[in-house]
Homo-oligomer: A and B are copies of this chain.
Amino acid sequence: MNEIPYKTYLNENEIPTAWFNIRSAMVNKPAPLLNPGTHQPMKAEELAPVFCEELIAQELDNDTEYFPIPDEVLNFYRMYRPSPLVRAYFLEKALGTPAHIYYKFEGNNTSGSHKLNSAIAQAYYAKKQGLKGVTTETGAGQWGTALSMACSYFGLDCKVYMVKVSYEQKPFRREVMRTYGADVTPSPSMSTNVGRKILEEFPGTTGSLGCAISEAVEVAVGTPGYRYVLGSVLNQVLLHQSVIGLETEAALNKIGVKPDIIIGCAGGGSNLGGLIAPFMRDKIKGKLDTRIIAVEPMSCPSFTRGVYAYDFCDTGMVCPLAKMYTLGSSFIPAPNHAGGLRYHGMSSTLSQLYADGYMEAVSVPQTEVFKAAELFARVEGTLPAPESSHAIKVAIDEALKCKETGEAKNIVFGLTGTGYFDLVAYQKYHDGLMDDYCPTDEDLAVSLAKLPKID
């Protein structure tokens, strides 16, 4: 028997009962959302036509340290949480590394990812407010599935705008959402003003998260009893996802392990922001010297090649402005890019932390990601989501560095989900049809030229 088990589970009564707000620990708070017309900080009442009331309060609160998790949400968490912290013994052996690799596995639920952690919270607050339904966008489909499950649980209508390329690559995602009673539309669509406008300007577009957000927001604002909910980027989402980091911290404490490196994939930042929350707090306070690494795709490199500036959160420019690392709201990743992590910007919270030097970021080419994914599947037994595989790739790289130096570092990464609905992408990889396209400097110059001018 190994001293440390393969899977460390907390007991159900050890599931965190409050979410931790990383902003409360930040020296420089994330920049506020701005009204796109006046360029003044958005007030709660301005956000109210779009978002649920209690979620707005969470969004704007940079000071409260802990938000209690409502009983109804905690009860739902017990359906699929705590998630295991897995010691990757098989991967370590395959790499021949002295490093100790751990991953927090969030894929053991039907949505297939961590997205359910925030979906159930957002659905709860929508229900509590007496709403009839919510709208949202989904890229890879994980968020849409999670929200469908959450809405089904609380008896809410759920309208999902799914990025067209994912809608086509993942025919069965729609069917899962349908099982949970959701209404799914490929985006851009002819059902909204913004969709029609985008289709007119770019007739062959395969869609983008930014564009799907615009459509979902338009429908939410225009439909009585509806609000819009979002699966990443926002502060409130990082708050809910802190349950990942809090459980990881508790599990590491249980087995007496101090992380040297924490690695997470980063699209809008929901998983990474949640995973690192308590560790980042200790790092800010000087109690922990853990390296924290964000991994993004080379095809959508907001941290590594974007600029830190105010930008629109959506392609249609109907949403508030957020200060973030961005590639420009009109940026759309190449259609060949698989899975999620397709968003043009990055969470304002993570952007501020990155700007302040608390985190590193690397971008990785797609075929290398799938190579890492396949190795992981074969030795660890779980077929990972393409998104999660970005973190696997860098965890492997760091473990191989340890092999060179002989260091037994503790490497922790977030395995956000499973790839059971990403087999078209795996097939492309196996067939040699996947490439490592990434935007040229000229591509980025075009979208960055459209950044709004803020005084």
Residues of A that sit less than 8 Å from B by CB: 1, 5-7, 9, 11-13, 78-80, 90, 108-110, 112, 149, 152-153, 171-172, 175-176, 178-181, 374, 377-383, 418, 420-421, 423-424, 426-427, 430
Contacts and interface: CB of A to CB of B under 8 A. Distances in A.
B1 A5 contact: no
A414 B430 CA distance: 35
B79 A380 contact: yes
A6 B79 contact: yes
Contacts of A78: 5-7
A7 B14 CA distance: 13
A264 to B, nearest CB: 22
Contacts of A380: 79
Contacts of A180: 377-378
Per DSSP, chain A at the interface is helix
Contact of A11 (B5, B79, B424): B5
Contacts of A377: 110, 179-180
Contact of A12 (B7, B171, B383): B7
A111 to B, nearest CB: 8
19 contacts: A1-B12, A79-B381, A80-B381, A109-B381, A109-B382, A110-B377, A112-B420, A149-B378, A149-B381, A153-B379, A172-B424, A175-B427, A176-B383, A176-B420, A178-B427, A178-B430, A179-B374, A179-B383, A180-B378
Contact of A423 (B12, B153, B176, B381): B176
Nearest to A428: B175
A56 to B, nearest CB: 28
A172 B423 contact: yes
Contacts of A80: 381
A182 to B, nearest CB: 11
Given A6-B78, A13-B1, A108-B108, A423 B175 contact: yes
Given A79-B90, A80-B381, A172-B423, 5 more contacts: A6-B12, A6-B78, A7-B12, A7-B78, A175-B423
Contacts of A13: 1
A427 B380 CA distance: 31
A424 B172 CA distance: 8
A110 B179 contact: no
Given A423-B172, A430-B179, A110 B5 contact: no
The 6 A-B residue pairs whose C-beta atoms are closest, nearest first, are A172-B423, A175-B423, A420-B420, A5-B12, A110-B383, A6-B78
A327 to B, nearest CB: 31
A240 to B, nearest CB: 17
A379 B155 CA distance: 11
Contacts of A153: 378-379
A1 B11 CA distance: 12
Nearest to A423: B172
Contacts of A79: 6, 90, 380-381
A423 B377 CA distance: 22
A153 B179 CA distance: 34
A429 B374 CA distance: 33
A63 B79 CA distance: 41
A387 to B, nearest CB: 16
